[in-house]
């Protein structure tokens, strides 16, 4: 965190150097990102991302959207705008913040051209069936996303939530890989704490859960060792493969 001194052994672990949470998902048919953080451009460069067919947004808080203009690079070769999927509440924030892009006015070549797609129920995204779930996050409702491929629940992304309500639990149950908010050990009014997230995971029956949106309170390797074996503390650059063969991690 800005303005804080850390012990050298903490800084020596690259997994303790965190940018804001975002997920890049790709299948044989589509490549998309969930959330565009302020550091989105740095993340794209780090991961050498060359393809982006869509953006999904969980909610309109600054740490999840402020890098969206850097999608411009992926608008150059498209016919039409880049699909941006968001709930009505979130889309209203995007329209306000990025008004020059969402205004519907003609946009010169080279700039960000979104194609807004309001999420009001399940939708298709390439070879995936996407089901949104509503998650309480203070005064905001965050949208979680559950991805089915070939009829199987492969992935769920549930960030920025104080709880996972029963309606969402039913949709998520049985998903292979679940990415879940677990802000910090201490309780927080709008995020799941570590213990709360562990409890949610125990009820989901996922093959593997990944904790995300982690603060500097986590010392990655120290805190990883305290968690059940089916829970992984996510880190910048973590890649996860979800297939018939199960959930595998690299590097």
* CB of residue 105 to a copy of itself, shortest distance in Å: 12
Strand order in the sheet with 208-212: 123-125, 128-137, 140-149, 152-158, 177-181, 208-212, 231-233
* CB of residue 139 to a copy of itself, shortest distance in Å: 10
Nearer to a copy of itself, 23 or 168 (CB): 23
* CA dist., res. 36 & res. 8, Å (int): 30
Tell how far CA 159 is from the center of its chain.
Answer: 7
Q: How many CA atoms lie within 13 A of 171 on its CB side?
A: 23
Nearest of 48, 70, 63, 73 to residue 18 by alpha carbon: 63
Strand order in the sheet with 82-86: 23-26, 31-34, 54-56, 82-86, 114-118
Binding site for a copy of itself (CB under 8 A): 1-3, 19, 38-42, 44-45, 49-50, 62-63, 66-67, 69-70, 73-74, 96-99
* CB of residue 57 to a copy of itself, shortest distance in Å: 15
Nearer to a copy of itself, 27 or 215 (CB): 215
Nearer to a copy of itself, 67 or 132 (CB): 67
* CB of residue 17 to a copy of itself, shortest distance in Å: 9
* CB of residue 156 to a copy of itself, shortest distance in Å: 27
* CB of residue 18 to a copy of itself, shortest distance in Å: 11
Q: What is the 3-state secondary structure (H, E, C) of 181-205?
A: ECCCCCCCCCCCCHHHHHHHHHHHC
For the chain, the maximum distance between any two Cα atoms, rounded to a whole number of angstroms, is 53
Nearer to a copy of itself, 3 or 228 (CB): 3
| The Cα angle at residue 16 between residues 12 and 22, in degrees rounded to 5 | 145
Nearer to a copy of itself, 152 or 216 (CB): 216
Nearer to a copy of itself, 19 or 123 (CB): 19
């Amino acid at each position: 965190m800005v303005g804080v001194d850390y012990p050298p052994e903490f800084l020596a672990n690259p997994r303790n150097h965190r940018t804001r949470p975002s997920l890049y998902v790709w299948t044989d048919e589509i490549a998309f990102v969930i959330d565009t953080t302020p550091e989105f451009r740095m993340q794209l460069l780090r991961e050498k991302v060359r393809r982006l067919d869509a953006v999904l947004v969980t909610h309109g808080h600054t740490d999840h959207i402020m890098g969206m203009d850097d999608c411009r690079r992926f608008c150059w070769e498209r016919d039409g705008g880049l699909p941006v999927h968001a709930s009505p509440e979130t889309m209203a924030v995007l329209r306000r913040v990025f008004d020059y892009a969402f205004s519907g006015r003609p946009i010169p070549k080279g700039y960000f051209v979104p194609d807004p797609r309001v999420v009001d129920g399940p939708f298709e995204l390439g070879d995936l069936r996407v089901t949104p779930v509503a998650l309480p996050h203070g005064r905001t409702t965050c949208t979680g996303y559950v991805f089915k491929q070939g009829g199987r629940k492969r992935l769920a992304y549930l960030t920025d939530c104080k709880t996972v309500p029963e309606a969402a639990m039913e949709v998520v149950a049985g998903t292979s890989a679940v990415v879940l908010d677990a802000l910090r050990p201490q309780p927080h009014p709008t995020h799941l704490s570590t213990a709360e997230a562990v409890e949610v995971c125990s009820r989901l029956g996922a093959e593997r859960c990944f904790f995300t949106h982690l603060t500097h309170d986590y010392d990655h390797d120290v805190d990883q060792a305290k968690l059940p074996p089916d829970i992984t503390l996510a880190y910048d650059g973590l890649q996860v493969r979800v297939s018939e063969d199960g959930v595998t991690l690299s590097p």
